Amino acid sequence: MIDERNTANWFSKPGDSIRAIMQRRNISAHDLAERLDDGLDAVRSLIDGSRQIDESTASTLSMVLGATAEFWLKRQENFDTAVNRSVVQVRESGHEDLLLRLPAPGQKARGKLSLERRAAEIRKRLVFYNVPDAASWTGRYGRLVGETDYRTSKAFASKEDATLLWLRRGELEADMIQTRAWNSENLVDRLKEIRKLSMIRHPQLFLPKLRTLCAEAGVALVVVKAPAGCRASGAIRMVDPDKAMLLLSFRYKRDDQFWFTVFHEIGHLVLHRANTFVDDEALPGDLDRENEANEFAAECIIPPLRESEFERVGPKRDDIVRFSVSIGVAPGLTVGQMQHRGMLEPDKLNYLKRTWDWSQINPATV
């Protein structure tokens, strides 16, 4: 991976300073949001660089985080100068069209763009991906999805656009979550407690607990609804040297699929260290490592020492519930494993699986 900070035109967002101070002073995103008119949306846009720091915002940042209002205004001014310089250099480098092809938030630019609009669209993408040039973008994201060569492709497939946007939104959400330093052993130590959370019915109750357990091991747990065209269920990535991201989409909105995805992504983190994995059935992946993560997840649900007992569980509600309680997981997870292994027909006992909708999920994602 390219170390973008070694490039001559690297820029640092005011949000980088905001995030560093929040981490150092143990100020949560919610603490800062209480002092801003737009709440968490304002915190998000300040951290991702899409919101300008004006005099009012600078005053609020000074009161909550420290430093003077003048410091924050100057921080914004320096950032704008650096980004504008990057835009000029991109246009002079011949990589302008590459960056304009990248997916970005908001309506897609169509037709012939004026010079001013082209500059604005380039700026939007540099800021959104937090990169100063095309080479840095390629080093960080260029081959995360599919086999597309982003250097030369004339157009992105919609599934790749959507997956890349979902992944980047996850990274931006992870920026708002404070964690301890990443430690895989600490994550493994918390697996037993994580398994127990599957017994809790409502996302509003289990997601905050799951987020806390992950943060204690250096993992920012993020839930982002997948945009149209993205079929990903989960992803992991090292977003900082000492911070991992575990990104979930709640794609199927069923407890067996959700918890299997959680354990599958934890498997990638524990077994495959700092690599990035996007689990999207529409995109190719490393089959060996996917199988390893699948096996890890299955063993998280059905402990190996209980495997022989599991194989004798009958396809009856009471037998499944009794066994599930004895191993400490929700019955829906046992049903899912039985169906996957051919012990139960796919249409049988699905009522034991818990299902949710986004009205239940959304309140727990912030």
Q: How far is CA 298 from the centre of its chain?
A: 23
Please check whether residues 185 and 121 belong to one and the same domain. Answer: no
**25/107 same-domain check:** yes
CA distance 43 to 19: 10
pLDDT at 328 over 80: yes
**225 to 87, 162, 222, 259, 362: CA distances (angstroms):** 31, 11, 10, 16, 9
What proportion of the chain, given as a percentage, has pLDDT over 70?
A: 90
115 CB-side CA count, 13 A: 2
SS3 label, residue 94: coil
Q: Percentage of the chain with pLDDT > 90?
A: 75
Domain match, 265 and 123 both: no
- Calculate ∠ Cα 162-242-284, nearest 5°: 30
**What number is the average pLDDT over the span 84-93?**
94
Residue whose C-alpha is closest to residue 146's, from 125, 132, 133, 160: 160
Other C-beta atoms closer than 10 Å to the C-beta of 294 total 16
- Between 34 and 4, where is the model more confident? 34
Which helix (H) or strand (E) element contains residue 233? strand 232-240
CA angle 134, 167, 220 (to 5 degrees): 120
- Do 188 and 272 lie in one domain? The reply is yes
Q: In the listed set 141, 158, 191, which residue is the last one of a domain according to the structure?
A: 141
In one letter, which amino acid is 321? Answer: V
Contacts of 103 by beta carbon, 8 Å cutoff, 6+ apart: 156, 161, 162, 164, 165
Is 170 within the bounds of a domain? no
Q: What is the pLDDT of residue 315?
A: 96
Task: Tell me how far apart the alpha carbons of residues 132 and 8 are, in angstroms, rounded to a whole number.
Answer: 9
Q: Domain for residue 238, yes or no?
A: yes
Classify residue 147: in a domain, yes or no.
Answer: no
Residue 85 has pLDDT above 60, yes or no: yes
Q: Which residue spans within 257-351 are E strands per DSSP?
A: 277-280
Is 174 domain-assigned?
no
Domain-embedded: residue 155: no
What values do phi and psi take at 254, rounded to 5? -130, 145
Give the range of the structural domain holding residue 63, as residue numbers without chain letter. 4-141
- Average pLDDT rounded to a whole number, residues 232-253: 93
Residue 237 — φ and ψ, nearest 5°?
-160, 145
Q: Does the pLDDT of residue 283 top 80, yes or no?
A: no
**Confidence (pTM):** 0.89
Q: How many helices (H) and strands (E) are present in the chain, helices listed first?
A: 18, 4
Is 27 inside a domain boundary? yes
H helices present in 104-246, as ranges: 115-129, 134-141, 158-174, 184-189, 191-196, 203-216
Asked if the structure places residue 146 within a domain, the reply is no
Residue 31 CB contacts under 8 Å (≥ 6 apart), including other chains: 22, 64
Q: Give the CA distances from residue 130 to residues 49, 57, 198, 268, 279, in Å, rounded to whole numbers and listed in that order.
A: 9, 22, 36, 25, 23
Residues 15, 86 within the same domain: yes
Structural tokens at position 262: 């959680």
How far is residue 320's CA from residue 338's CA, in Å, rounded to a whole number? Answer: 10
Nearest-5° angle of CA 66, CA 72, CA 78?
145
Using the 3D structure, point to which of 141, 169, 203 is the last residue of a domain. Answer: 141
- Given the structure tokens 């599991």, which residue do they identify? 310
Query: Mean pLDDT across the chain, nearest whole number?
Result: 89
Which pLDDT band, with edges at 50, 70 and 90, does 105 fall under?
A: confident
**Greater model confidence, 285 or 207:** 207
Residues 213 and 350 in one domain: yes
In this structure, what token pair is assigned to residue 294? 């699948």
pLDDT digits (tens, 9 = 90+) for 132-159: 999 899 888 876 654 333 333 444 455 7
- 202 and 115, same structural domain? no
Q: Is 13 inside any structural domain?
A: yes
| Interatomic CA distance for residues 269 and 90, integer angstroms | 35
Number of domain units in the chain: 2
Same domain, 60 and 110: yes
Residue 88 and residue 14 share a domain: yes
Q: 């900082």: which residue's tokens?
A: 240
